[in-house]
Structure 1
Amino acid sequence: MLIAIGSDHTGVHCKYAINNFLIKKGYDIKDFGFSEYGKKVDYPDFIHPVAGFVNKGKAEFGIIICGSGNGAAMTANKYEKIRAALVWRKEIAILARKHNNANIISLPARFVDKNEMIEIVEIFLKTNFEGGRHKIRIKKISEILSSSVG
C-alpha cells in the first residue's frame, strides 16, 4: 500500500519517525514533506501535493502534519475526493475511519508526541470503514443542496 506524507517545519521530526515506522511495517511511502530542521515554511506548500496525489488515486491514504493539524486539514479538504480528519487521539482515529471513511489523517505536531502519533497512524491505517448509514452521510458531504444555496 502506498501512503503519501507531508509536513511543514513543525512536523519534520514526526514525519521521519512515522516514515521509518511505516517502512518497517512494509508500506511504501511517497514523501512530499519538508525535510530541513530550523527553517520555517508554509504548510500548504507541502499539503497540496499530498492531497492532490491521494485525490488522483495514486495513494490509498495520506498523512499530513502541521502545528495544530487544522491548517493542513483545511487545505487537504479543498480537494473533491479527500476526507481529511484532524486526529489527536486514538479514539478519533478509529471513528475517522469507521464513520467518515477518512483517507487523510491530519496530525498536530505541537500537541501529540511522535510515539503517540505512530500509534494513531497505525490504528488509522488498520481500521476499516463500516459503510451502512455512514456511507449515506459521507455522500451528503459533497452534495450541494439547492435549498442551501443562495
Structure 2
Amino acid sequence: MAETGTKPAVAIGADHAGFVLKAALAEALVAMGHEVLDLGTDGTASVDYPDFAHAVCRAVAEGRARFGVLVCGTGIGMSIAANRHPGIRCALVHDATGARLTRAHNDANVLAMGGRMTGVEPALDALRAFLATPYEGGRHDRRVAKLTPAMESAR
C-alpha cells in the first residue's frame, strides 16, 4: 500500500457540488503528511458522482490507498455508490463524532460528506477524527462480518 512515512495514502474524489470542499480536504491531507490520490473532479462543471465514487473505491480495494474520502452535494449519492463495492464500508458523516464512531465501530474505510451540508471546519474535524481513530474490533467484529455479503466472503 502506498504510504508517505507512516501516514497512509488517501484517495479523494468529488463531483461538481463537492469540488470546493474536496480541495480543502485534500490540502489538509497533504499538510498532515498523507499521500493524496486526487481522482477528480477538477472543477465545478457538472459531472456524474458515481464515476468518482467508483474510482476512489477501486483505489482503496486495490490497496493503492488505505482510506477514501468522497464529497458530493449531500454525500448521499457518493455513499450509495461506494457501498456497492465489495470490501468498502463507506459512512456518510456530518461531524467528528460520526467520523470517530464509524471508524471505531464499523471499521469504515471510506468517508463521505456533503459539500452543501457540512462546512469546511466541521468537515476538517471529521476528517481528522476519521484518520486518527482505530477500529476497536472485539464486540464489533461479529457485526462488521455481517456486512460482508455471502458471495464476497466465499472468495
What TM-score comes out, normalization by structure 2 length?
0.89
C-alpha distance after superposition, 1:18-49 (max 9, x if no partner): 11111111100000121113x11110111110
Residue 104 in 1 paired to residue 110 in 2? yes
Distance 1:8 1:116 in 2: 20
Other structure's SS at 2:70 match: strand
Residue 77 in 1 paired to residue 83 in 2? yes
Q: Please name the residue that 1:132 is paired with.
A: 138
Other structure's SS at 2:56 match: helix
Q: Please name the residue that 1:33 is paired with.
A: 40
Other structure's SS at 2:146 match: helix
Distance 1:22 1:90 in 2: 16
Paired residue type of 2:38: D
Other structure's SS at 2:12 match: strand
Query: Which structure has the greater CA radius of gyration?
Result: 1
- Equivalenced residue count is 144
Distance 2:85 2:62 in 1: 10
Paired residue type of 2:13: G
Identity %: 38
Residue 44 and residue 143 in structure 1: after superposition, are their counterparts in 2 closer, same or farther (change >3 A)? closer
Q: Please name the residue that 1:92 is paired with.
A: 98
Q: Please name the residue that 2:5 is paired with.
A: none
Q: RMSD across aligned C-alpha pairs, in angstroms?
A: 1.2
What TM-score comes out, normalization by structure 1 length?
0.92
Distance 2:23 2:79 in 1: 20
Q: Structure 2 regions of 5+ residues with no counterpart? A: 1-7
Paired residue type of 1:12: F
Distance 1:141 1:12 in 2: 30
Where has structure 1 moved over 2 Å in runs of 4 or more? Answer: none
Residue 49 in 1 paired to residue 51 in 2? no
Q: Structure 1 regions of 5+ residues with no counterpart? A: 146-150
Map 1:61-72 to 2 at 5 A. 61-72=67-78
CA shift for structure 1 position 8? 0.3
Distance 2:99 2:91 in 1: 8
Q: Please name the residue that 2:24 is paired with.
A: 17
Distance 2:130 2:93 in 1: 9
